[in-house]
Chain A
Amino acid sequence: MDIVNALALFANFVAVPATAYGAQLALGALGVTLIFGILRFANFSHGELMSFGAMATILVTWTLQDLGIGIAPFPTALLALPVGILASIAVSLATNRMVFRFYQRRRANPIVFAIVSVGVMFVMAGLIRIIIGPDDQSFADGERFLITAFEFQKATGLKEGIAIKQTQVITVVVALVVVAALFWFLRKTRAGKAMRAFSDEEDLALLSGVNPDRVVQIAWIITATLACIAGTLYGLDKTYKPFIFLQILLPIFAATIVGGIGQPVGAILGGFVIAYSEVMVTYAFKKVITYLSPTDWAPEGLVQLLSTDYKFAVSFIILVAVLLIRPTGIIRGKVI
């Protein structure tokens, strides 16, 4: 029996990475859910918006690195983030003005909107590949680790170490701050209240003098901000590669639907549910069980529910299960 080592092992391979991943998904899902709440369509271009924001941040980061400006030991990308956010806001307002507003004025069917967003996604993906190319880009600098596995082992004398990357901590902290700010905005400010009213009952909100164009613009501004932060944090923690953002769209949509569409709290909850399931279902528990077993008994197999090849299938399975059993999501949201 060695509970402490089992916990350390679990934390190192499951809890720490899943928490960071969950925070990234939650930020992405918040953006999707906001657009759904206001414009009532599933925004497929959200992944590319994240990618665009991250790309803008990377370009500014490189400039800063060349100039020798940094905030060591923190990554320079944090300094570049505001510029990236501005760029994302500009591009999302431009697409809204050029594409989405046209359909909104016609009160187009949500499915038309969704397909239009697929078109926007492709155009944006092409634009990103023209500007930065399709390859991996590295832009992370600063201290990589808060504590490495080896340092942890030495400090505690345990057999298993817990490695915590600085980017993981930054991801969680930034996500917390952003979510708190978002909730404050939605609950306390006039514009936030107008947005919630518009989301709940559009016609009534219009009758009460809410300016729909303004609400939609604010929704895009917030979404672009969230997307840029989510994309940059994901790239910082893992790696930036344009293709990734098409892949990450599925877990983000799963998180949105699982949590309850149009429900900001649900998006966050959904993000963590998806992240933890993905990591835990594909994790091999062999060593954890070995530590927990009373004698030296070790299981023969890897004690792994699904091979890591099926990691992406996990979000699919959860998505299907939720749609079948509770289509409204964990927190009662809208039904697509």
Chain B
Amino acid sequence: MRLLLSVACAAALASTAAAAQEVKVGMLQGFTGPTESLVKPMALGGEMAIQEVSDSGLLLGGRTVVSVRGDSTCIDAAAATAAAERLVTSENVSGIVGATCSGATTAVLNNVVRPNGVVMISPSATSPALSTIEDDGYFFRTAPSDARQGQIIADILDRRGIKTAALTYTNNDYGKGLADSIQAAFEEKGGKITATTAHEDGKADYSAEVATLAAAGGEVMIVAGYLDQGGKGMIQAALDTGAFSRFVLPDGMVGESLTDHFGTALDGSIGTNPGTDSPGATMLAELSEGKDFKGDDPYVPEAYDASALLLLAMQSAGSTDSAVYKDHVMKVANAPGEKIYPGELAKALQILADGGEIDYVGGTAVELIGSGESAGSFRETEVKDGKFETVQYH
């Protein structure tokens, strides 16, 4: 009996010793709930970066990395907090990739990340509220805030010399948030939003809403809606009454079905949607070939980049202690330094080990701004001959 006990003790000690060599990364994603179909490839994408780093044998002198999954759900803040608590206190993860949704992320940030001091990088929480939330420097995200698109649109209007615009948005959180950010950014640039009207999706007739905007006037009509819903109806009514002939179309409105429907009537309208001309996206898609997921699925590049940034920051700091490496996340993400694309993590680890600097580009052309969130890459398009044509990338 005593022998057995001592063997068990020795085994336990041995496993602790092995664990000390292992770096654990928490993969805190909404595996169940509204985002479950989105999350499966995201988690695999994030784990692909972890595997790549682990296989390189270059992290902090050859330590391996494992991913520990936790289910943050999307809408249950209590479940997300409990899952994060388990990852941090019983699994002793060195950093968290997650959470998926903005609500769960906020809860985890307030209840687990700040009290315990663990770095968390979310690949997909896009709420503007997370830009200003108190995070003690532990929270980052590789997805741009929804507010970012408002600034991009304001910049585009400013550059094109458009001074007045009427604004309509689909009456939900997305539409309202986007409309607010467009209005704030545009007015900061000296532009004028003549009138703002919400529109409900699924109505037959939007002539009253358009009439209101027409009374206020404006050079363009900004339609923060959906292309197969009220947004389309608003454009139809505006074209029918001759109220507006030029439109600004944020991401929810950019799609072929819109140009197929209206054809050349939309010529001169401006569209913006997430997009990048960086080669990273294609490289990631190639890397994922033959695996269970696609590298260009929604938020997969962001998840890959989140894992990569977390581990590269550890390498740069030479420590897995969150309090130390949190200050290195921005450093490895931004210039100056050697540009790092997906699949080049080993090279990056080597450069950092040699004391060099890197500028991680990754699958989404990451550029962290403000309090540590992705600037995002947006594609500016213009409708020409009834087709969206890329003008430039922002």
- B202 interfacial contact with A, CB 8 Å: yes
Contacts of B242 in A (CB 8 A): 12, 148-150, 153, 161, 163
**Which of A14, A21, A239 has most chain B Cβ within 10 Å?**
A239
Closest to A16 in B: B241
A309 to B204, Cβ gap below 8 A? no
Known contacts A163-B242, A283-B212, A302-B215; is A13 also within 8 Å of B202 by CB? no
A239 to B233, Cβ gap below 8 A? yes
The A301-332 residues at the B interface (CB cut-off 8 A) are 302-304, 307-309, 311
B211 to A13, Cβ gap below 8 A? yes
Q: List 26 A-B contacts (CB under 8 A).
A: A12-B241, A13-B211, A13-B214, A13-B241, A136-B228, A149-B241, A149-B242, A153-B242, A161-B242, A163-B241, A239-B233, A241-B202, A244-B203, A244-B204, A247-B203, A247-B204, A278-B208, A283-B208, A283-B212, A284-B211, A302-B195, A302-B215, A302-B216, A308-B209, A309-B171, A309-B200
Cα-based distance from A304 to B217 in the complex (angstroms): 14
- B278 interfacial contact with A, CB 8 Å: no
Q: Mark A139-150, 1 if CB is under 8 A from B, else 0.
A: 000000000111
Known contacts A148-B242, A302-B216; is A241 also within 8 Å of B211 by CB? no
The B7-27 residues at the A interface (CB cut-off 8 A) are none
Given A12-B241, A244-B204; 15 other pairs, CB 8 A cutoff = A149-B241, A163-B241, A234-B204, A247-B203, A279-B208, A282-B208, A283-B208, A284-B215, A285-B215, A286-B216, A287-B215, A308-B197, A308-B209, A309-B200, A311-B208
- B286 interfacial contact with A, CB 8 Å: no
Cα-based distance from A282 to B48 in the complex (angstroms): 55
Residues in chain B within 8 A of chain A (CB atoms): 171, 195, 197-198, 200, 202-205, 207-209, 211-212, 214-217, 228, 233, 240-243
Cα-based distance from A271 to B243 in the complex (angstroms): 26
- A192 interfacial contact with B, CB 8 Å: no
Known contacts A163-B242, A243-B202; is A287 also within 8 Å of B217 by CB? yes
The 8 closest A-B pairs by CB, nearest first: A149-B242, A284-B215, A238-B204, A13-B211, A244-B204, A286-B215, A308-B208, A284-B212
Cα-based distance from A165 to B241 in the complex (angstroms): 9
B216 to A284, Cβ gap below 8 A? yes
- Nearest Cβ distance between residue B335 and chain A, in whole angstroms? 47
The A19-40 residues at the B interface (CB cut-off 8 A) are 21
Q: Mark A269-290, 1 if CB is under 8 A from B, else 0.
A: 0000000001100111111100
**Which of B198, B217, B228, B241 has most chain A Cβ within 10 Å?**
B241
A238 to B205, Cβ gap below 8 A? yes
Cα-based distance from A155 to B81 in the complex (angstroms): 67
Cα-based distance from A282 to B243 in the complex (angstroms): 17
A282 to B212, Cβ gap below 8 A? yes
Closest to B204 in A: A238
A283 to B215, Cβ gap below 8 A? yes
Cα-based distance from A179 to B143 in the complex (angstroms): 60
Residues in chain A within 8 A of chain B (CB atoms): 12-14, 17, 21, 136, 148-150, 153, 161, 163, 165, 234, 238-239, 241, 243-244, 247-248, 278-279, 282-288, 302-304, 307-309, 311
Cα-based distance from A26 to B97 in the complex (angstroms): 60
Cα-based distance from A285 to B216 in the complex (angstroms): 9
**Which of B171, B198, B202 has most chain A Cβ within 10 Å?**
B202
Contacts of A309 in B (CB 8 A): 171, 198, 200
Cα-based distance from A136 to B207 in the complex (angstroms): 17
Known contacts A12-B241, A241-B202; is A283 also within 8 Å of B233 by CB? no
Cα-based distance from A11 to B233 in the complex (angstroms): 21
Contacts of A279 in B (CB 8 A): 208, 211
B204 to A13, Cβ gap below 8 A? no
Cα-based distance from A285 to B215 in the complex (angstroms): 7
Cα-based distance from A134 to B181 in the complex (angstroms): 33
Contacts of A148 in B (CB 8 A): 242
Contacts of B211 in A (CB 8 A): 13-14, 279, 282-284
Cα-based distance from A149 to B228 in the complex (angstroms): 25
Contacts of B208 in A (CB 8 A): 278-279, 282-283, 308, 311
Cα-based distance from A278 to B216 in the complex (angstroms): 19
B216 to A163, Cβ gap below 8 A? no
- Nearest Cβ distance between residue B147 and chain A, in whole angstroms? 24
- Nearest Cβ distance between residue A250 and chain B, in whole angstroms? 13
Cα-based distance from A307 to B196 in the complex (angstroms): 11
Closest to A290 in B: B215
A302 to B214, Cβ gap below 8 A? no
Cα-based distance from A308 to B233 in the complex (angstroms): 15
- Nearest Cβ distance between residue A209 and chain B, in whole angstroms? 46
Contacts of A302 in B (CB 8 A): 195, 212, 215-216
B212 to A287, Cβ gap below 8 A? no
Contacts of B204 in A (CB 8 A): 234, 238-239, 241, 244, 247-248
Contacts of B214 in A (CB 8 A): 13, 287
Contacts of B202 in A (CB 8 A): 241, 243-244
Known contacts A283-B212, A302-B195; is A13 also within 8 Å of B203 by CB? no
- Nearest Cβ distance between residue A213 and chain B, in whole angstroms? 37
Contacts of A161 in B (CB 8 A): 242
- Nearest Cβ distance between residue A241 and chain B, in whole angstroms? 6
- Nearest Cβ distance between residue A97 and chain B, in whole angstroms? 32
Contacts of A286 in B (CB 8 A): 215-216
Cα-based distance from A153 to B240 in the complex (angstroms): 14
Contacts of B217 in A (CB 8 A): 287
**Which of B216, B228, B233 has most chain A Cβ within 10 Å?**
B216
Cα-based distance from A149 to B211 in the complex (angstroms): 14
Cα-based distance from A13 to B215 in the complex (angstroms): 9
